[in-house]
Amino acid sequence: MAKYLVLFGPPGVGKGTQAERVKDELQIAHIATGDLFRDNLKRETELGQLAKSYMDRGALVPDEVTIGMVRARLEEADTQNGVLFDGFPRTVAQAEALDQLLSERGGRIEKVLFIHAPDSVLLDRLGNRWTCKKCGAVYNLNSKPPQVTGVCDVCGGELYQRPDDNLETQRKRIEVYAAQTAPLIEYFDRQGRLARIDGQQPIEKVTADVRAAIG
Ligand code: AMP
């Protein structure tokens, strides 16, 4: 049976870091909608241009655009054994669409791994976050610095600060999370699919909790 999991939580809580740490052992595809939008932007596609206008403001890309992109991505062969969704769904409409897409494939979301931390911690992490231009790996100048300043440990790519990691956009993204995404906590909890994980713990401990929740 294909395995479908969701990494859920506010911006900066460590979803991408945890996805990097568990995706290989799970042997399922990793679909991070933020990475897909950034990849489109890099390749200068129409979708990338459209997404940029929302991303730059810290707003969500409209549901129909995001859902369409995920639907197309799910048609790729590497998703057959399952998917670790990261940063998707972010609205109730996206969650409903995902349930529908998966049920068409005879599957369902098994677990939603909800990593949480207070806003002060999120702002601190976003402010110290550096991302690899080439492979998207994430670093933190305090808790997870790269071995060589400005260079990705994984692929040797150049590290940069995402334009939406500036203070004003960080605040906006946290607000958008609270207003549009946090309502999903109750949505998933009601369905008995939510596992709460304390994102303030050291990276290794969070990974241990993620693994335990996946079972
Ligand atoms: P992330 O890399 O997850 O922090 O996402 C960066 C930006 O991409 C967000 O601030 C949104 O503008 C956009 N984005 C990523 N995932 C979604 C989604 N599921 N729904 C709408 N917009 C998204």
190 is known as an active-site residue = no
Q: If you average pLDDT over residues 78-90, what whole number do you get?
A: 97
Q: What does the alpha-carbon distance between residue 164 and residue 58 come to, in Å, rounded to a whole number? A: 7
pLDDT the model gives residue 29: 96
Q: Ligand 1 pocket check: which of 60, 74, 94, 131 to mutate, most ligand atoms within 8 Å of Cβ?
A: 60
Nearest CA to ligand 1 atom 3: 34
Residue 213 has pLDDT above 90, yes or no: yes
105 is known as an active-site residue = no
Q: If you average pLDDT over residues 49-57, what whole number do you get?
A: 97
pLDDT the model gives residue 197: 98
pLDDT the model gives residue 110: 97
Residue 1 has pLDDT above 90, yes or no: no
User: Can you tell me which atom of ligand 1 is nearest the CA of 58?
Assistant: 10
Q: If you average pLDDT over residues 182-187, what whole number do you get?
A: 97
Q: What is the pLDDT of residues 142-183, one digit of tens each?
A: 989 999 999 999 999 999 999 999 999 999 999 999 999 999
pLDDT the model gives residue 141: 93
pTM of the predicted structure, to 2 decimals: 0.95
15 is known as an active-site residue = yes
Specify the long-range contacts of residues 132-136, CB closer than 8 Å, at least 24 apart.
Answer: 132/157, 132/158, 132/159, 133/157, 133/158, 133/159, 133/160, 134/158, 136/16, 136/32, 136/35, 136/38
90 is known as an active-site residue = yes
Q: Confidence band (pLDDT; 50, 70, 90) for 53? A: very high
Q: Ligand 1 pocket check: which of 61, 91, 131 to mutate, most ligand atoms within 8 Å of Cβ?
A: 61
- Going from the N-terminus, what domains does the chain have, and what CATH number goes with each? 3-117+181-214 (3.40.50.300)
User: Can you tell me which atom of ligand 1 is nearest the CA of 90?
Assistant: 19
Residue 64 has pLDDT above 90, yes or no: yes
